[in-house]
Chain A
């Protein structure tokens, strides 16, 4: 379980620079990120070391932002690591909205952030299948 900060950005030069500067000035460290974009707008998704503060700072700066529950799965950092996890998720009928990889990683482990339709169901399934996922506090401290 983890809190992702999602931010609405217009497709305009300087917007990403602005949001990252605002976070950097507030001492927020970005741990993972992805951007989904269309021709008009983008959605920036962030895992940071302090999501509560990051959200507050972004709101103060007038951004449209939200907190989203995501799940960070750890898997062997070797060929086929992600495929195995996706395969098991498929068996459990877990619908994935989107996923992206983590920037930092632990020794021999890769981390991938998943947004799933049903997070409680995902956790149960992961426990059944022996898939490891990060606890919130551990994730922010990485």
Chain B
């Protein structure tokens, strides 16, 4: 059983809560003082920093949502001046306003510590060779995994995404012991490994840390049995820090959430009410140590529950159940966030196209495929096939570049898109997650 920071990870809960309260008070004081948007939100509900006297008082603070990020784009939520910011990351969406995160030097250190904790929980040591195939760039996956691996002292291979054949070759030739990637990509790499006809016994591959898209227990079993490895689930998002917020332990009974750095609440997504311990609902996260971008009660839109019983692994931090659903209509396709509203705004920029569309998501050969069906209106209809194919190609090109992922476009007859009570059903998700 390996811990990166045993003292913090196994801290008695009473002590942990004292630490949380002290850090929460500091964080609330800082956002109220330095972030006008937070001050305005708190003033609007009449809460002052000194009103936060216990952890239970957290529920009186207003929520932070993705809309707040848009309203304060790009740097309005930062609590430090730009001269203290050493890194900027942002969400993968390329349409509309991306979610921007700033990091101070301490934030980068905290993030590396969090990821080191996660990688250690997934079996990494100084002797490990870790291949990171999450994208390097504005997306937090690549650099997050990278800094954590270096923090441990493991040898990190910054492979980034793509070129699956080369990924397999690297794993084989460099004796890679651990992989950090999306779970679906782990299976794509496996297929390529089979195609290449290499001998599994020549690989040193032992475990993988997978995240950035929802995946089921069944998929974990599939990855583990095919690759003969241990597969761990890592949780995070740009708004919170990136990956590193929560991680499976060897018992795989939920993801330990780093409670010395974050406070989790479960709320009813409709009423916003905090639900009793053990309830299933929307995960709300408050950061306790972030400097540049402190987060108070961020509505993650991820649906889960939290188990605070002490885990057999010895860690005391609460475990969030594997996240399988969302309380909004966001889709995660091959690690990229897609909102129907993004598709809509892209379609509306194409002359004559009406916003009658539907997103069909399938998982084939372990990769998610998004088909966008667009109704053909009289305005764009032509009796010539060539013109209709040009229209299809235009929609295809705009969606691919606007969403940042490859989609399939299908022109359909009007009203063939299911409407329930006048409201169009925008998403058909056929993935068995």
Contact = CB atoms under 8 A, between A and B. Distances in A.
Interface stretch (B65-73, B269-277, B284-292, B406-414): B406-414
Nearest to B410: A40
B166 interface: no
5 contacts: A40-B411, A45-B383, A64-B414, A97-B384, A98-B384
Most buried by B among A6, A15, A43: A43
Given A10-B413, A41-B411, A66-B378, A115 B383 contact: yes
Nearest to A98: B384
B381 A10 contact: no
A38 interface: yes
Interface of A: 4, 6, 8-10, 15, 36-38, 40-41, 43, 45, 62-66, 68, 97-98, 115
B121 to A, nearest CB: 47
Most buried by A among B388, B414, B415, B416: B388
Interface string B366-407: 000000000011100111110011001000000000000000
B376 to A, nearest CB: 5
Interface of B, secondary structure class, is: loop
A8 B415 contact: no
B383 A43 contact: yes
A6 B381 CA distance: 9
Given A38-B389, A40-B392, 14 more contacts: A8-B388, A8-B413, A36-B385, A38-B388, A41-B388, A41-B412, A43-B384, A43-B385, A43-B388, A64-B376, A64-B381, A65-B378, A66-B381, A68-B383
A8 B376 contact: yes
A4 B388 CA distance: 18
B381 A62 contact: no
Nearest to A62: B415
Contacts of B389: 38
Contacts of A15: 413
A97 to B, nearest CB: 6
Contacts of B413: 8-10, 15, 62-64
Interface residues of B, number: 18
A56 B214 CA distance: 48
Contacts of B381: 6, 8, 64-66
A15 B414 CA distance: 13
Contacts of B412: 10, 41
Nearest to A97: B384
Interface in B230-256: none
B377 A66 contact: no
Contacts of A63: 413-414
Contacts of A62: 413-415
A8 B376 CA distance: 8
Contacts of A6: 381-383
A28 B252 CA distance: 67
B383 A64 contact: no
A46 to B, nearest CB: 10
Most buried by A among B376, B383, B384: B383
Nearest to A41: B411
B385 A38 contact: yes
Given A8-B376, A10-B412, A41-B411, A66 B383 contact: yes
Contacts of A66: 378, 381-383
B383 A4 contact: yes
A135 to B, nearest CB: 21
